[in-house]
Copies of this chain bind each other. A is one copy, B any other.
Amino acid sequence: MQTDNPTLTEKLASAIADGILDGSLTPGLRLDENSLARQYGVSRTPVREALRQLMRSGLIDMRPRKGAVVSKATPGQVESLFVAMAEMEATCARLAAMSMTPVERRRLQARHEAMTALAAAGDRAAYSDANVAFHSAIYAGAHNEPIAEYTLGLRRRVGPFRRAQFNVDGRLVLSNREHDTVVRAILSGDAAGAHAAMLHHVSLVEDAFETFAATSAA
């Protein structure tokens, strides 16, 4: 019947995750296995397995006999997610400063310079896309699969709670300037500097979400 290789379970997990991330499945919504099975025209078994996967990635919550609901995070949990995100980004930058190959460093710089042009031109859409790629490049540059993968997962998780950060005029240029500090530190192999610069950069993004600031010490 199905000649596809990716298992049904995985396709279901992706489909449901997309539904959550694009907002069509709102937090708090109950996900009952029968409805999902009917909706996708499959049996409950792959649905169950997909839900388990999503639970472990934090997108949904499941309690033993109570079923699954889309994670409805409290403000505190959202705050935790953003803090975690910032720490992981900073860690990736630190590792990237230490482990990036010369080629990767050159490409990062090229990417950054392209974004500088986009920022100057005020092209928000293109800058936003390039921004995602920029950060992904740093995750990859960390040369550490567990860290990179976790950071990527975290970024997906915070996605639904993110407001458009680049709407405010001037934010584009500011973001780009922060990137400049980060790139400079990474290129020069300054691990601690890269860590601090990235932490600063991402924490500002967090502020754009209107979280209760604070948490800056040392």
Q: Is A91 an interface residue (CB 8 A)?
A: yes
CA distance A91 to B199 in the complex (A): 12
Partner pick for A191 among B145, B150, B217, CB 8 A cutoff: B217
B residues in contact with A191, CB < 8 Å: 217-218
CB-CB contacts of A84-99 with B at 8 A, as 1s and 0s?
1001100100110111
Contact A87 B94 (CB under 8 A): yes
CB-CB nearest in chain B for A56: B56
B residues in contact with A145, CB < 8 Å: 77, 80
Q: Interface with B: A47-55, A114-122, A124-132, which one?
A: A47-55
Tell me the smallest distance from the CB of A10 to a CB of chain B, in Å. 8
With contacts A83-B95, A91-B87, A98-B217 taken as known, whether A58 is within 8 angstroms of B192 at the C-beta atoms is no
CA distance A58 to B145 in the complex (A): 11
Q: A84-B144, A91-B91 are in contact. List 20 more A-B contacts (CB 8 A).
A: A7-B64, A45-B45, A48-B49, A49-B52, A52-B52, A80-B144, A80-B146, A81-B146, A83-B147, A84-B146, A87-B94, A87-B95, A88-B91, A98-B215, A150-B150, A191-B217, A191-B218, A192-B192, A192-B217, A192-B218
Give A contacts to B, CB under 8 Å: 5-7, 45, 48-49, 52-53, 56-58, 64, 77, 80-81, 83-84, 87-88, 91, 94-95, 97-99, 143-147, 150, 154, 189-193, 215, 217-218
